[in-house]
Structure 1
Amino acid sequence: MQFLGIDFGWRSQPSGLCCLRWQENKLHLQDLRRLDAVADILAWVDAQTESDAPALIAVDAPTLIPNATGMRLPDRLTHQHFGKYHAGCYPANLNRPFADRTVGLGLSLEARGFLHAPTIAPQTLGRYQIEVFPHPATVNLFGLDRILKYKKGRLADRAAELLKLRSLILDVLPQLEPSLQITEADLPEIPRTGTALKNLEDRLDSLICAYVAAHWWYWGLNRNLVLGDATEGYIVVPLAIAPSSAPTPKMLF
């Protein structure tokens, strides 16, 4: 089973891409890159999942948008449940300039057999796609009291926040279940320029997306939260939970 993370460029900007492979009861980093064109992204997906290989793709973008105006249900729910962490997501509707691009990506993945999976039987092989949002995922996975603010602000501040994210990936994800086997050598160092910093930001966000895909496949609703549903759009977020706990499955509407 493979887990692909796509930190999708909603307009025309590049997208971060990550592939994790489940092997010998561990996750292993297979690829971490950034690509520009949607056609190249889909070609990358095809290369990682050739011969109809089972995989789960987690996309940071609104691939299901049923509403012509306003805000989707999952967008409202991120503000309701994660607003205090500064992790409410950007509102999506069909009149937004990015809608055709993001919905189109979801449809292209469906055409490849990746069906939306707002519910899943844990550890069942198949070809699935889900929508994710890295900010609330990192809040819960890493026990943060607010998001890491590496997207805006002074270059030095962004670099410091991105360094925290890199360190948490290396220190925490190997300790969780499923465990990600990763070392310092697998991740680039924090760069000094804004352009290079954005490049790394996109790739690390895609790694978080891929890990959320694996967490969803491994645990399903036992240790994940689903904000919304397949009709109104949904976002999958790992629960903030100690490994020994026994959570109640949740879907929020």
Structure 2
Amino acid sequence: MIFREGTTISLIGFDSAWTDSPKAPGAISVIRIDRDGRRTFVPPTLVSFDQALAEIKAEATFSALRIVALDQPTIVPNHTSLRPVDRVAASLISWLGGGVQPANRSKIGMFDDSAPVWRFKEMLKAVEDPEASRTVQKGLFLMEIFPALALPSLDAAFCGRLLGPRYNPARRKTFMLAGWQAVIASVRRRAVAEAVDGLADWADHLAAVEVPRKADQDRLDGVLCALIGLHWHTRPRSQSIMIGDRTSGYMIAPASDAVRARLEKAAHLVGVPVDLDAPR
């Protein structure tokens, strides 16, 4: 493989939308880091699972190391109820005023044996070892993330009882334009703080949308996924958390001190490991 000059890492955010409906595609976005540390933004596009596979494959022409941060459960062995990691995440998300959709094999089209996510993983052929992805220089890696779990650490304004933003336009009863604008503003601040070329301008254009649609939120979540991947790969390990394990299911997320304390307490109560694979 001949790589284009200068780029070595691609943090690929993929909001899959869980099913593969043409009427409700997911979104994919990329942050690239070159050999000089410069970070550039590839705006999100709406994609099916197959289109996402093609985008991820094409990214190999830019980078030796590709890390896919997927907003969808990647390990679902349970046939009913919630995964243990979902219970831990729900303890924080419910405090913020939101909810966690149960992931189990009975959900047809999402996690049954023929669900598109399993074909996606099979075709992707990525290594699902988040800790290893932090220390290598090449390869293709996959990790499960959850933007709602990340937001209270990415922006302290969202960390508090019922302070989680309601920014999904498809949920008309709960959607709040102020929450939508707050998430975009948070992304813009992260763009500046992380020096990601092009991301602040993209956020400004999105903020100008007067009536956001579900597709706009999918694009925004795709960008959040990429930012979570960037945080995981570039920030000190102590600023992130891995809840659960690679047998029963896990999630990777940024973790402020306040968020970490809540998640660790909840994990202890239900016997879920935290940072099981982290270097000691």
The question of 1:101 aligning with 2:125 is answered: no
SS at match of 2:206: coil
Counterpart-to-counterpart distance in 1, 2:219 and 2:166: 16
Change (3 A) 1:218 1:87: farther
Query: Which region of structure 1 is more displaced relative to structure 2, 135-144 or 179-188?
Result: 179-188
SS at match of 2:149: helix
The question of 1:169 aligning with 2:193 is answered: no
Structure 1 residue 161, shift from structure 2 partner:
1.9
1:117 to 129, 135, 156: 129
Q: Percent identity?
A: 21
Structure 1 residue 73, shift from structure 2 partner:
1.6
Q: Judge conservation of contact 1:60–1:131 (CA < 8 Å) in 2.
A: yes
Change (3 A) 1:120 1:81: farther
SS at match of 2:131: coil
Size of the alignment, in residue pairs?
238
Structure 2 partner of 1:25: 37
RMSD in angstroms over aligned alpha carbons?
Answer: 2.6
1:183-240: per-residue Cα shift (whole Å, max 9, x none)? 54323334334xx521211111111111111211224642211111110111101011
SS at match of 2:69: strand
Structure 1 residue 88, shift from structure 2 partner:
4.3
Q: Rg bigger for which structure?
A: 2
Q: Judge conservation of contact 1:122–1:220 (CA < 8 Å) in 2.
A: no
Structure 1 residue 180, shift from structure 2 partner:
2.9
1:25-45: per-residue Cα shift (whole Å, max 9, x none)? 24320232112x322221111
Structure 1 partner of 2:3: none
Q: Structure 1 length as normaliser, TM-score?
A: 0.83
Q: Structure 2 length as normaliser, TM-score?
A: 0.76
Structure 1 partner of 2:275: 251
Counterpart-to-counterpart distance in 2, 1:119 and 1:83: 28
SS at match of 1:115: coil
Output aligned runs, 1:82-161, within 5 Å.
82-97=93-108, 98-99=110-111, 100-109=115-124, 111=125, 114-120=126-132, 122-125=134-137, 126-143=139-156, 144=158, 145=160, 146-151=163-168, 152-153=171-172, 157-161=175-179
Amino acid at match of 1:169: V
1:71-107: per-residue Cα shift (whole Å, max 9, x none)? 1121111012443113542110111121122233233
Query: Which region of structure 1 is more displaced relative to structure 2, 160-169 or 53-62?
Result: 160-169
SS at match of 1:63: coil
1:78 to 89, 97, 103: 89
Amino acid at match of 1:119: E
Q: Judge conservation of contact 1:122–1:219 (CA < 8 Å) in 2.
A: no
Change (3 A) 1:124 1:174: farther
Structure 2 partner of 1:245: none
Counterpart-to-counterpart distance in 2, 1:124 and 1:135: 28
Structure 1 residue 147, shift from structure 2 partner:
1.7
Structure 1 residue 122, shift from structure 2 partner:
3.2
> Unaligned 5+ residue runs, structure 1?
243-247
1:34 to 21, 46, 70: 46
Structure 1 partner of 2:76: 65
Change (3 A) 1:221 1:81: farther
Change (3 A) 1:159 1:116: same
Counterpart-to-counterpart distance in 1, 2:33 and 2:99: 31
> Unaligned 5+ residue runs, structure 2?
1-8, 259-263, 265-273
